[in-house]
Amino acid sequence: MVDFYKQLVEQRRELHQWPEEGWTEFWTTAYITEHLREWGYEVLLGLKVIDKENVFGRNQELVDAAIEAAKNRGVSQALLDEMQGYTGAVAVLDTGKEGPVTAFRFDIDCVCVQETDDASHKPNQEGFRSVHDGYMHACGHDCHASIGLTLARWLMENKDSLKGKFKIVFQPAEEGVRGASAIAASGVLDDADYLFGSHISFMADTGEVVVAPYGLLCTTKYDVTFRGAPAHAGKEPNAGRNALAAACNAVVQMMGIARHGGGMTRINVGTLRAGEGRNVIPCTAHMALEVRGETSEINDYMAQQVKNIIEGIAKSFGVTYEISTMGAAVDFLNDAELNDIISDVAKTVPTVNKIVADGNFGGSEDYSIMGRRVQTHGGKAAFFICGADRTAGHHQGKFDIDETGLTTAFDMYKGIVEKTNK
C-alpha cells in the first residue's frame, strides 16, 4: 500500500535540494516525467504544452547550461530532446468514463536566493539544503510539485472509482510570472471544465485554508535597455550620449507617475546597471522593472505611462531604447461554485482547524493567466491557500515550512477530486 504522506515529504526534500530557476528546470521536469510515466501517465512535453510566442524571460545561455547540468545528473538525451528546450509537463489521465475534464496546476521553479547556513535551519539539520549556491526553493514550489506528483499517484491508484479526464500541469517559471502564458496559449487547458490551483503557506498558518483569496494583482514585467554613445568624459563629453543619465531620469519620472483613482497601483525598478568606466560617458544602461494594478485597466494605465516616459526620455537624451516584456499576470476571481466545493472539502479534512472565506493575497500569481483562459473557454477556475507555519517570509534564505501543510494540501485535492469526479 502506498504511503502517500511519506511520499509527500521525501519528494519535497529531494526537490528542495536541487532547485532550478524558471525555464531551466530540466532536471526537475525529468524527475517529474519519469515518475509520472512509471505510474502509467501520458506526459506531454515541449511544444505540445508550450507556445513559443508567449514565452517570457527565457535566457538561452542559462537554458543551455541547465541542459548540460541535467545530462550530468543522468537525464537521458532522448528525454531532453522530447522537451525541445522548454521545461514543464502536463500529465493526462483518462478514466474512460464519461465525466468532466478536471485540471490542476502546480509550479516547479525556484527563487534566486542563497539558502541560510544557520545550523538551526531544518534543511541544514536534516541534510536537504540546496546544493546550488544562489538558488533555493524559498517560495514553496518544491512543496507544490510534490503535492502534484502525490496527487497524480493517488489518481492513478484510484482511477477505477473515478470518472472523466484529469490534466495535471507542472508549470515552469512562475517567479517573475513568466511561464503560465506559454502553457495557456498552447491550448492544452481549453477543454478543462475545472481548474484548481493553490499556494502553500503565504498568508495562512498550519491548519488554515483560505478559500477565495482576492487581490491577485495584474502585473507586467519589463526589461529596458538604453543605448547611447561613448566619449571621453573630460575632453569631449558633448560627443557622448549618456545612457546612464537617461535611465536615472526615467526612474525618477516613473516613480512620479500619477496613481490611478480607480484602485491600487505599484511600480518598482528592481535593477539598474549602467556604464563602462569612470572616465567614459556611459553608453548602455539596463533596467528591470515592473508595474502592478488592481485591475487590467489600471495595470494597462501604468504600463502605458512607463512606455511614454521611456520614449520621451530616449528622445530628450538622444539615446535609443529597447523594451521587452518579461512576464505578465492578470487579476482573477474564483468561480463561486468552486468556492463552495473548496469550503465543503475543507470541512472534511482532519488537519484543517480554520476556514477563512477570503483574504487579501496582495501579490501577483500567473495562475491567473491559466484561470482566466479556462474561464473564457467556458470552464470554471479557483485558487486557494493551504496554510503552513513558516520560519521566515517567502523569498528569504531562512524560509522553511511546517511539512504537515503538505498533508493538508494533498487531502484538499483528494477531496476536490471526490467532489467533482465521483
Query: What is the distance between the alpha carbons of residues 287 and 223, in angstroms, rounded to a whole number?
Result: 6
Phi-psi sector, 324: left (phi>0), alpha (psi -120 to 50), beta: beta
With 80 as the cut, is the pLDDT of residue 1 above it?
no
Mean pLDDT of the chain: 97
Query: What is the distance between the alpha carbons of residues 87 and 84, in angstroms, rounded to a whole number?
Result: 8
Edge-to-edge order in the sheet of strand 320-329: 265-274, 284-293, 218-227, 320-329
Which pLDDT score, from 0 to 100, does residue 150 have?
Answer: 98
Three-state SS sequence of 374-422:
HHHCCCEEEEEEECCCECCCCCCCCCCECCHHHHHHHHHHHHHHHHHHC
Which pLDDT score, from 0 to 100, does residue 422 have?
Answer: 79
b or e along 150-178 (b: 16 or more beta carbons within 10 Å of the residue's beta carbon)?
Answer: bbbbbbbeebeebebbbbbbbbbbbbbbb
DSSP state of 74: T
With 80 as the cut, is the pLDDT of residue 140 above it?
yes
**Secondary structure of residue 329 in the 3-state scheme:** strand
Query: What is the distance between the alpha carbons of residues 41 and 97, in angstroms, rounded to a whole number?
Result: 16
- pLDDT, tens digit, 9 for 90 and up, residues 352-403: 999 999 999 988 999 999 999 999 999 999 999 999 999 999 999 999 999 9
Instruction: Dig out the grid coordinates for 258 from the structure.
Output: 500619477
Supply the pTM of this predicted model.
Answer: 0.93
Task: Sketch out the chain's domains with CATH numbers.
Answer: 4-216+331-421 (3.40.630.10), 218-328 (3.30.70.360)
Instruction: Dig out the grid coordinates for 328 from the structure.
Output: 505578465
- pLDDT, tens digit, 9 for 90 and up, residues 83-94: 999 999 999 999
Query: How would residue 298 be classed by pLDDT, with cut points 50, 70 and 90?
Result: very high
Query: How would residue 2 be classed by pLDDT, with cut points 50, 70 and 90?
Result: confident
Element of type H or E holding 273: strand 265-274
Q: Is the sign of the CA dihedral 394, 371, 28, 32 positive or negative?
A: positive
